[in-house]
């Protein structure tokens, strides 16, 4: 989205609106009489008019080609939904709604239930958000309110590099560096002092829900913070100046002018980050331990919708097994779509309000 968006669009609409008018005007007696008179005197004028109005074959072909390519996108989206539904038919028929509430995942006896994975997906994403949201807001405020422009650009660039690193590389690093570090340094004090809370009970393991949540947090911070930075940058300068003129300190200005103004955008950014976290596959599959169990403790192995698909799809033997895994994908798709639509509407509202 760019500021210049509205310029050409508005003009395009204007041109479109005017074009039919010129046709209707030509039908009015005065104009058409003149036109006829001109064409009577200059036969070439008729030819010019006809050549102008007839859209050559090449033009129509060109529009048809680009339209077809655009329609391909619609086909892909519908095709994706249809393909997932048709491939999961066996599982949909066998388990129905029971699928999303059953906790049993037993390939040996062909019994499949998605609840452990839905739980794992949401718990790992929630953990990631709890860590990532404060960090992202801090980064966004630092970039938009604190740092001078030259520093802000460089820092913003570094934060974006975080988003560029492939997830398998994060996974590799989490397996060999982050996981063991969390197990040895972070988890023991947590379980010693907060062990009475079920979330922090038990001893640490390097593959666990906790490691997955932390690596997810690192991966989604750049997405949330870049959207928030953009949202804060469109807060009108007059709002800030008004707050400062009333004697606000810099932090008070942020709190009374910047944050409330960008609230819907912040919420949108968080939901966008949540959407990322839900769908993230490989890094999570590498560190979460892949056990289809619902465990209250963060320090136990678990599993998410995406990670179980990645781990078991190529090993699935029975048709019902594959079908159940595809249905997990369908559940993931539905969650992802809902979050994305909501987030985009919120962000769009927040960043376009000022441009209108």
Partner 1 sequence: MTSAAAYQYRKLKSNVMMGVTVAATVVTLVPLFLVLGYLLYKGASSLNLDFFIHLPKPVGQSGGGMGNAILGTMQIVGIACLLGVPIGVGAGLYLAEHRGTALANAVRFAADVMMGVPSIVVGIFAYAVIVRPMGGFSALAGAFALAVIMVPLVTRTTEEMILLVPHELREASLALGIPRWRTSVSVIVRSALAGIATGVILAIARVAGETAPLLFTAFGNRYWSTSLRQPAATLTVQVYTYAISPFHDWQRQAWAGALVLTGLVLALELGVRWVTGGAAKAAR
Q: Please, which of residues 273-332 interact with partner 1 by CB under 8 A? A: 275, 278-282, 286, 306, 309-310, 313-314, 325-326, 329, 332
Region label for 154, one of left (φ > 0), alpha (ψ between -120 and 50) or beta (otherwise): alpha
CB of 195 to partner 1, least distance (A): 26
Region label for 290, one of left (φ > 0), alpha (ψ between -120 and 50) or beta (otherwise): left
Q: Which one of residues 89, 252, 296, 349 is an interface residue with partner 1 (CB under 8 A)?
A: 252
Query: Which tokens hold the place of 255?
Result: 């709190």
Q: Which stretch binds partner 1 (CB under 8 A): 34-42, 95-103, 132-140, 235-243?
A: 132-140
CB of 307 to partner 1, least distance (A): 9
Query: Which tokens hold the place of 76?
Result: 């892909």
CB of 226 to partner 1, least distance (A): 7
Residues 187-216 that bind partner 1 (CB under 8 A): none
Backbone φ and ψ for 146, nearest 5 degrees, come out as -100, -55
Q: How far apart are CA 333 and CA 339, in angstroms?
A: 10
Residue with tokens 């179980």: 308
Residues 135-174 that bind partner 1 (CB under 8 A): 135-139, 141-143, 145-146, 155, 157-159, 161-162, 164-173
CB of 286 to partner 1, least distance (A): 6
Q: How far is CA 355 from the centre of its chain?
A: 23
- For 269-342, list the strands marked E by DSSP: none
Q: Which stretch binds partner 1 (CB under 8 A): 128-136, 183-191, 198-206, 292-300?
A: 128-136
Residue 271: its H or E element: helix 263-279
- Partners of 112 in beta bridges: 105
Q: Which residues contact 148 (CB under 8 A, 6 or more apart)?
A: none
CB of 270 to partner 1, least distance (A): 14
Stretch 219-238: interaction string toward partner 1, x if CB under 8 A = --xxx-xxx-----------
Residue 40 or 154: which CB sits closer to partner 1?
154
DSSP letters spanning 228-252:
HHHHHHTS-HHHHHHHHHTT--HHH
Q: Which one of residues 65, 126, 130, 245 is an interface residue with partner 1 (CB under 8 A)?
A: 65
118 is an interface residue for partner 1 by CB under 8 A? no
Q: Which residues contact 70 (CB under 8 A, 6 or more apart)?
A: none
Stretch 22-61: interaction string toward partner 1, x if CB under 8 A = ---------------------------------xx-xx-x
Stretch 78-107: interaction string toward partner 1, x if CB under 8 A = -xx--xx-xx--------------------
Q: How far apart are CA 162 and CA 177, in angstroms?
A: 17
Residue 37 or 76: which CB sits closer to partner 1?
76
Q: How far apart are CA 355 and CA 234, in angstroms?
A: 9
351 is an interface residue for partner 1 by CB under 8 A? no
Q: How far apart are CA 214 and CA 204, in angstroms?
A: 14
CB of 176 to partner 1, least distance (A): 7
CB of 198 to partner 1, least distance (A): 27
Question: How many angstroms separate the Cα of 46 from the Cα of each of 33, 38, 43, 185?
Answer: 13, 9, 6, 86
Q: Which stretch binds partner 1 (CB under 8 A): 110-118, 187-195, 233-241, 333-341?
A: 333-341
Q: Which one of residues 7, 189, 236, 349 is an interface residue with partner 1 (CB under 8 A)?
A: 7
Question: Residues binding partner 1: what is the number (CB under 8 A)?
Answer: 101
């Amino acid at each position: 989205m760019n500021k210049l968006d509205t310029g050409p669009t508005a003009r395009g609409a204007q041109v479109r609106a005017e074009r039919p008018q010129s046709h209707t005007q030509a039908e009015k007696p005065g104009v058409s009489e003149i036109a006829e008179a001109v064409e009577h005197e200059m036969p070439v004028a008729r030819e010019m008019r006809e050549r102008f109005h007839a859209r050559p074959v090449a033009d129509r072909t060109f529009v048809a080609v680009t339209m077809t390519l655009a329609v391909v996108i619609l086909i892909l989206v519908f095709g994706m939904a249809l393909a997932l539904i048709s491939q999961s038919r066996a599982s949909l028929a066998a388990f129905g709604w029971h699928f999303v509430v059953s906790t049993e995942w037993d390939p040996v006896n062909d019994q499949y239930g998605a609840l452990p994975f839905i739980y794992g997906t949401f718990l790992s994403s929630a953990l990631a958000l709890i860590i990532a949201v404060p960090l992202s807001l801090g980064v966004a405020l630092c970039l938009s309110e604190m740092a001078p422009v030259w520093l802000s650009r460089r820092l913003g660039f570094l934060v974006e590099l975080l988003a560029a690193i492939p997830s398998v590389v994060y996974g590799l690093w989490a397996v060999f560096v982050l996981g063991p570090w969390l197990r040895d340094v972070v988890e023991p004090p947590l379980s010693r002092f907060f062990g009475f809370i079920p979330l922090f009970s038990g001893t640490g393991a390097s593959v666990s829900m906790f490691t997955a949540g932390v690596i997810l947090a690192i991966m989604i911070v750049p997405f949330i913070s870049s959207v928030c930075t953009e949202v804060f940058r469109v807060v009108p300068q007059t709002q800030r100046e008004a707050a400062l003129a009333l004697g606000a300190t810099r932090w008070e200005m942020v709190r009374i002018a910047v944050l409330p103004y960008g609230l819907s955008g912040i919420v949108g950014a968080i939901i966008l980050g949540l959407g990322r976290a839900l769908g993230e596959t490989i890094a999570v599959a590498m560190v979460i331990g892949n056990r289809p169990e619902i465990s209250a403790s963060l320090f136990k192995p678990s599993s998410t919708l995406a990670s179980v698909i990645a781990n078991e799809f190529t090993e699935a033997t029975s048709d019902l097994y594959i079908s159940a895994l595809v249905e997990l994908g369908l559940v993931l798709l539905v969650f992802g779509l809902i979050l994305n639509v909501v987030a985009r509407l919120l962000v769009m509202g927040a960043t376009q309000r000022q441009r209108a």
